[in-house]
């Protein structure tokens, strides 16, 4: 089973990553609801990396690598854009967001609620985000 | 994402077909931003063929909800797949938005 892909930082590639992760999880026999939850968490991070960290610059790349060991599913995302600071995270207040007509600010809340563990690390020339989920 | 509009006297029904992500949600935002939408009493969103929604898709609905309410327009979702409904639930949006099982129930509101 193919476990890695590289995409250019374009919005149209969000679906490419979703289909890749989804196909891998179908191969692992996961149910539709679980697959959708993991795919959603990955999509939220990939969208942030493509749109915010790399400003949709198609000359830049994002590497996605998948791994499963002892039932623990790991997604590794590597890019060279600006780094995300988890310290800046704020829990969204949905009634307030509705009142204010806000469009964004919910992606990381979904990721944090859907995944078992989320890690961000900065290296000399690249960033890594790792997402973990124990599979049933 | 394909969006089909079915207008009647008081109701505008939007049929969403495909995946609503950070790329395709721009199209939905354009549709909902059209001032003529506020002339209806109800905007019904048929989600039967909506196979995926991310925070960008949710954000489009959230950003228009108050504007709709201020104009007296009801926004109602129906025929939502379980995996899509689950995304609304995770953020608690299922209790802040009107989601009903069928078109009949949506029309009766």
For B13-59, the pLDDT digits (tens) are 999 999 999 999 999 999 999 999 999 999 999 999 999 999 999 99
Q: Chain A neighbours among B 68-97 (CB < 8 Å)?
A: 82-83, 86-87, 90-93, 96
Model's pTM, two decimal places?
A: 0.96
Residue A129 sits in which domain range?
4-134
Which domains are delineated in chain B? 2-108 (3.30.750.24)
CATH, residue A91: 3.30.565.10
**Do the beta carbons of residue A8 and residue A59 sit within 8 Å?**
yes
Placement of tokens 């077909």 in the chain:
B17
Q: How many domains does chain A have?
A: 1
The ipTM of this complex is: 0.94
Closest CA to A39 of B80, B48, B24, B84: B84
Say how far apart CA B20 and CA B47 lie, in whole Å.
11
Q: Which of A43, A98, A103 sits opposite B21 (nearest CB)?
A: A43
Q: Name the nearest CA neighbour of A112 among A95, A129, A135.
A: A129
Q: Tell me the two tokens of residue A75.
A: 């997604």
Q: Are A14 and B58 inside 8 Å of each other by CB?
A: no
Whether residues B22 and A11 touch (CB distance < 8 A) is answered with yes
Q: Would you write out chain A's pLDDT as a tens digit for each of its 136 residues?
A: 789 999 999 999 999 999 999 999 999 999 999 999 999 999 999 999 999 999 999 999 999 999 999 999 999 999 999 999 888 899 999 999 999 999 999 999 999 999 999 999 999 999 999 999 999 7
Cβ of B21 and A18 within 8 Å?
yes
Whole-angstrom Cα distance, residue A44 to residue B51?
16
Could you tell me if B30 lies within 8 Å of chain A, comparing CB atoms?
no
Please state, in angstroms and rounded to a whole number, the distance separating the CA atoms of residues B68 and B22: 22
- Under an 8 A CB cutoff, do A11 and B96 touch? no
- Please provide the DSSP assignment of B45-89 as one string: EEEEEEEEE-HHHHHHHHHHHHHHHHTT-EEEEES--HHHHHHHH
Two tokens at B28?
């939905």
pLDDT the model gives residue A1: 77
Q: Which residues contact B39 (CB under 8 A, 6 or more apart)?
A: none
């Amino acid at each position: 089973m193919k476990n890695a892909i590289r995409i250019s930082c374009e919005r149209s590639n969000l679906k490419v990553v979703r289909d890749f992760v989804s196909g891998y999880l179908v191969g692992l026999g996961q149910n539709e609801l679980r697959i959708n939850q993991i795919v959603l968490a990955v999509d939220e991070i990939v969208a942030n990396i493509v749109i915010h960290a790399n400003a949709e610059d198609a000359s830049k790349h994002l590497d996605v690598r998948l791994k499963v060991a002892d039932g623990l599913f790991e997604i590794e995302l590597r890019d060279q854009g600006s780094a995300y600071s988890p310290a800046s995270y704020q829990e969204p207040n949905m009634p307030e967001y509705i009142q204010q007509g806000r469009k964004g600010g919910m992606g990381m809340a979904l990721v944090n609620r859907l995944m078992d563990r989320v890690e961000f690390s900065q290296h000399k020339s690249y960033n890594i985000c790792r997402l973990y989920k124990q599979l049933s | 994402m394909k969006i089909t509009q079915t207008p009647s006297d008081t109701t505008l029904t939007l049929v969403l077909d495909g995946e609503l992500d950070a790329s395709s949600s721009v199209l939905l935002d354009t549709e909902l931003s059209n001032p003529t939408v506020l002339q209806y009493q109800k905007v019904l969103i048929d989600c039967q063929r909506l196979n995926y929604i991310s925070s960008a898709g949710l954000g489009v609905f959230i950003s228009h909800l108050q504007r709709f309410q201020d104009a007296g327009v009801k926004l109602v979702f129906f025929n939502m797949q379980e995996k899509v409904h689950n995304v609304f639930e995770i953020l608690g949006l299922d209790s802040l938005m009107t989601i009903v099982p069928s078109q009949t129930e949506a029309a009766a509101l």
